[in-house]
Structures are given as structure tokens and as C-alpha cells.
Amino acid sequence: MDVQVEHLDTHEARLTITVPNEMVDRARRDVARKLSKDVRIPGFRPGNAPLNLVIATVGQQAFAAELANELAGKVYSQALEQAGIDPYSAGQLEDFKSDPTQLIVRVPLEPVVDLKDYRSVRLPAPVVEVSDEEIETQLQYLREDHAIVQAVERPAQLGDMVEAVIVGTVDGNQILSDKRRTILLDPERMGIPALVDPLIGMSAGEHKDCTITLPDDFEEEFLRGKEVQLSIDVHRVSSRTLPEINDELAQTVGQFQTLTELREDVRRRLLERKQRQADQEYAAQVLDAFTNLSTISYPPAFIEDRLADALADFKEDVKRSDGLPFEEWLKLENKTEEQVKEELRPQTEARARRGLVMREFARAEKIAVSDTEIAAEVERQMQVFGVDNKQIRRFLQDKQRVRSLESDILSNKIMRRMVEIAKGLADGQSNPQVEAVEATG
């Protein structure tokens, strides 16, 4: 068997497989035998009709198609091995020729990543600070959290708390349910700021019907700029009295004796939170740096598979967040499924490229996850629940969950190693810029 390989720009290979005549003859007889079992030919028992009569009965084209499938099943794996091809997924038969008998197969290749000189990647480490203004902002939040709330017999004012049932509809579709909710009359802290104005001036026991317009930057894109018909029933109006920022407030919110102690605690918590966020952003920048340095090749089928997964996840998100069947959501958005798929393509492809780089990086750095590490993570998660719950333990030890844990642990180990390299801390490497930043921190 002769196999010719043509490498395509799409990271696919076109195989021209020339099949020996004796193999073709055997395959023709096998196909004829199979077809004659399925097609009734007068005068012959199933499976015993002559080759030429079977071809005449089913037609030359149909017989050729069956013969191509038969030969492909016999020679494809051998052809891949002979050509040294590492396929990503099954190939597609593009053409079938006779005299000589040839199969033309297009094969998507396994993605390939060249990390280049990845150990040369350097990025300055993040330095975080907490300003006095940020601390004062947090103290204001603590003030509001410990406000004294009292029911009042007067119309609602800015800064009051209002308990009300608000039903909102857009084009006849209900977007606000008829449940009782507590609302702080502060536009800057409202998910829908336009709700504040209709509530101001209303008293307990009062009803109002009105219309508001949602902003053009509203979180839900399909509701942007829409008019909402509101039905409002106010049940309670309460005033809010904020405490002073002093030692007494410190003693109220925690085990602090003075305002100074509270300020230091707020500073520490803010610093920890900002450091976590900075570290996450830095890790993302590091991964992008490794990805941008690398040369990555993959076939169209690889991205199409990732897109199918992304689209399935998107449909689930729509159902969960909007409570709508995906088909109804498409109508509201005036989109087709194909348009949504294309909108998902850039981010899906970027995520896929990062994933390929991480996989190749793990191979290059010999990063793996041991059974001991998985067991330790299971125990750590068990501690979160505070009890040795057998049902939870079975869930954590489920094969699919274990694979998920292994993937998470591996990703974390990869990112830690990438960050070490980017900071110049791997294997005695040095990064003067990073060292100077860390020294000043």
C-alpha cells in the first residue's frame, strides 16, 4: 500500500492512499456479499449473488460508495501509521478513484505548540497599596451596615428603606416578580436606579402605576432602553440613622477597642483583597505572555468542537439567568444561533489557545498531579463542610469529580510555575526589575 501525504495550511493532512489490487478484489467480494444479504435478488439466496449482478442491482455509484467505506475501514489506521500522522479526530473521505484504486482522505492533525524560549518571559510583579480614601469608604459602608432603622409614618425620602411589592413588565413579559422586597432609596446603590424616583413620596399602604425607561447600558442587553410598566404597592417606610465613625462604632462592628484598631483591620483586609485581585490579574497577564510568545497550530475541527461546548454552556446560562428557552431568547435578541456562535468564537479561540499552551507547558516542565495531592484536596474540601459527611465524601470521590479536581490542581500548579518564571524566581533566575519592585514593597 502506497501513502502520499500533503500537508495543508489548515493544519490538516491530505492522504492519497493507493490500495493494492488484491485488497480491492477481496473488498469488492466482501461488499457484494454484504449487499446481497440486504437486497433481494431473484434466483439467489441472500449473500450468494454474483458480483456483477449485485452491482447491476444496487447501481455502480452506490456500490462504489460501499466499497470506499469498506476499504477505508481496512486501510485507514494502517495508512496513518505508515505516514506518521497523529490525527486530532477522524478523517473525511474527499474522493474515491479507480484504476488505480485510491482513497483521498483529509485528516485534522493533533494541535501542536512551540513554546519558543518561554523561560525568557519576564513581567514586573504587582505592587498594591491602600489609600486613606479607600479606608474611609469602607468605614462609610460599615456605618450604613449598622444604621438604626425605624418605621416612620410619612412619605418616603432619599436615604429611606422602603418595603414594597413591585411588578415590572416589558412588552407584556414580566421582568420583576411580585415578591416583597426591601429597597434603599439611593440611586448609586440600586440595580435599577430609575426605580428610586417613583418610590419617593409614597407612603405605607399606597399604590402606584407608572412607567420607567431602562438605561442604554443596562446589564441585560435585550432590555436596554426598554420601557417598563410598574405596579407598586408600598408596605413600609423606614428612616435610617447612621452612627458616628468613632470608638463606639469600632466596638459595635467587632472585637476592637478603638477606631484606630478598626482602621488597621480595614487596611489589612483591603490589602489582602487587592493583593488577591492583583495576583489573579498578573497570572492572566503571564499566561497571555506565554501564549503570545508561542506558535500554535490546530485544525478547524478543534475550534469547532470548543465552540460546540461553549454554545451548550451559553444556552444553559441563558436558561438559568433569564429563565427563558434559548429559542425564545433568540427571538427577543433578534439573533440566530449561528450569530451567537460567531460572537462566541473570538473568546472561545483565545481560551483554547491558552489551554493548549498550558498543556504543552506542563509537558515541558514535567508538571503532573499525584494521587496524594488529589486525596489531600478531597480532605481539604471535606474540612470546609466541618463534618465527615459520607454523602459529601462520596461526591468528592466520584470519578468525574476526581478528574475535575485533578484538572484544577494541575492548572494551579502550571500557573504557579509560569508566575515563578515571569518573576525570575525559577531555578536561580534573576529579574532585577522584579527584585527592585519587591524590595520597595
- 219 and 154 in one domain? yes
Beta carbons within 10 angstroms of residue 437's beta carbon: 15
Q: Judge contact between 167 and 177, C-beta under 8 A.
A: yes
Q: Report yes or no on 139 lying in a domain.
A: no
Tell me which of 110, 129, 162 is where a domain ends.
110
Q: Report yes or no on 165 lying in a domain.
A: yes
pLDDT at position 440, please?
31
Q: Report yes or no on 296 lying in a domain.
A: no
pLDDT at position 434, please?
41
- 152 and 74 in one domain? no
pLDDT at position 374, please?
87
- 106 and 14 in one domain? yes
Q: Report yes or no on 188 lying in a domain.
A: yes
- 79 and 24 in one domain? yes
Q: Report yes or no on 64 lying in a domain.
A: yes
Q: Report yes or no on 135 lying in a domain.
A: no
Q: Which ranges in 182-336 belong to alpha helices (H)? A: 196-199, 247-253, 259-293, 300-322, 326-333
- 153 and 234 in one domain? yes
- CATH number of residue 12's parent domain: 3.30.70.1050
Q: Which residues contact 231 (CB under 8 A, 6 or more apart)?
A: 166, 167, 168, 207, 208, 209
Q: Report yes or no on 349 lying in a domain.
A: no
Amino acid present at 365? E
The total domain count for the chain is 3
Burial class of residue 228 in the structure, from the number of CB atoms within 10 Å of its CB (0-12 exposed, 13-18 middle, 19+ buried): buried
Task: Write out the residue range of the structural domain in which residue 93 sits.
Answer: 2-110
List average pLDDT for each run of 10 residues in the chain, which is 441 residues long.
94 95 89 77 66 74 88 93 94 91 95 97 95 95 91 94 93 83 88 89 95 87 88 95 94 93 96 96 97 97 96 92 86 92 96 97 96 86 67 70 90 96 76 39 33
- 93 and 17 in one domain? yes
pLDDT at position 48, please?
66
State the Cα–Cα distance between residues 66 and 50, nearest whole angstrom.
16
- 79 and 152 in one domain? no
Q: Grid coordinates standing for 439?
A: 524590595
Cα torsion angle, 44, 49, 53, 58, sign: positive
State the Cα–Cα distance between residues 326 and 331, nearest whole angstrom.
9
- At residue 239, the 3 state secondary structure works out as strand
- Closest by CA to 36, choosing from 27, 24, 26, 49, is 49
Packing angle, helices 337-364 and 326-333, rounded to 10: 110
DSSP code, position 109: B
Amino acid present at 300? P
Q: Report yes or no on 439 lying in a domain.
A: yes
pLDDT at position 348, please?
97
- 159 and 106 in one domain? no
- CATH number of residue 195's parent domain: 3.10.50.40
Amino acid present at 317? D
pLDDT at position 439, please?
32
Helix (H) or strand (E) holding 68: helix 60-83
State the Cα–Cα distance between residues 253 and 141, nearest whole angstrom.
11
Q: Grid coordinates standing for 203?
A: 407612603
State the Cα–Cα distance between residues 30 and 25, nearest whole angstrom.
9
pLDDT at position 392, please?
66
- 6 and 105 in one domain? yes
- 435 and 389 in one domain? yes
pLDDT at position 178, please?
79
- 173 and 93 in one domain? no
Tell me which of 185, 209, 241 is where a domain ends.
241
- At residue 417, the 3 state secondary structure works out as helix
pLDDT at position 401, please?
81
Tell me which of 241, 265, 282 is where a domain ends.
241
pLDDT at position 357, please?
98
- 152 and 83 in one domain? no
